[in-house]
Amino acid sequence: MNAPGGRWVLVAGNQLPYSLTRREELLLPRAEAPTLTITSDPHNSIAVLGGSGPDWIITLWAQGDGQSEAEARERLQHIAVHAAGGTVSLTGPGLYEGRRGNGDLIVEGPIDAGVVIHGTYTSVEVRDLAGPVRIAATHARARILETTGQLDVTAGVVDFAGASGRVTLSAGPPSGSKGSSWRGLSGPFGCCYRRDLGRRLK
């Protein structure tokens, strides 16, 4: 409080005093992306949900934090989503600035379509899809629920439940890193599986 009658502002933990958000939405016809590829810079999150619509609906929720409104706005501007052909890219401020700005990408698409996701330090969730799914989420968590198509997942942590079809799961640190050993599991499944290995940020 700077003067009598002023106002106390409480900031919890490492939270910065200014935070700005932005929402964007894109429509990508399935004809342009029979299999959707998604890439992401670190410290974002990706969720892909099977829906009843014929096309891909892509929604970005972006947040930028800072010591001032100008700083928060600048970090918010670094977070963007771009679509080119069958690829959607989520960009951010980078590995070391990611804690002060991040994007949550929510994608709803045809239930029988295929998805390929690549991200580092980016959490991923996929649910209710019947098409093939491939996920590479190094140093992050991947959660897969109620999928019935072919599934290939590599992540630091894998949560897998209520799915069926041909499944290959690998959880742990990347090749050449120290810590827990790299382990995998493959085969046809119809129950649940969880493996926690290595480090994760989200």
In a domain, 2, yes or no: no
Q: Which residue, among 202, 200, 156, 144, has the nearest Cα to 182 in the 3D structure?
A: 156
Q: Which residue, among 193, 113, 188, has the nearest Cα to 157 in the 3D structure?
A: 193
Mean per-residue pLDDT over the chain, rounded: 81
In a domain, 8, yes or no: no
Torsion, Cα 67 69 71 76, to 10 degrees, reads: 120
pLDDT at 194 exceeding the cut of 90: no
- Band (pLDDT 50/70/90 cuts) for residue 142 is very high
pLDDT at 1 exceeding the cut of 50: no
In a domain, 10, yes or no: no
In a domain, 92, yes or no: yes
In a domain, 147, yes or no: yes
pLDDT for res 31? 95
Q: Residues 94, 87: contact at Cβ < 8 Å?
A: no
pLDDT at 190 exceeding the cut of 50: no
pLDDT in tens, 146-172: 999 999 999 999 999 866 778 899 987
> Where does the chain have alpha helices with state H?
69-77
pLDDT for res 6? 45
Q: For residue 30, report the phi and psi dihedrals to the nearest 5 degrees.
A: -65, -30
Domain limits for position 136: 18-196
Neighbours of 103 (CB within 10 A): 28
In a domain, 13, yes or no: no
pLDDT for res 96? 63
pLDDT in tens, 41-62: 998 999 999 999 999 999 999 9
Average pLDDT, stretch 99-103? 82
pTM here is 0.79
pLDDT at 186 exceeding the cut of 70: no
Q: Residues 117, 134: contact at Cβ < 8 Å?
A: yes
In a domain, 72, yes or no: yes
Q: For residue 102, report the phi and psi dihedrals to the nearest 5 degrees.
A: -155, 160
Count of structural domains within the chain = 1
Per-residue buried b or exposed e for 56-93, using 16+ beta carbons within 10 Å of the residue's own CB: bebebebbbbbeeeebbeebbebbbbebeebebbbebb
pLDDT at 187 exceeding the cut of 60: no
In a domain, 12, yes or no: no
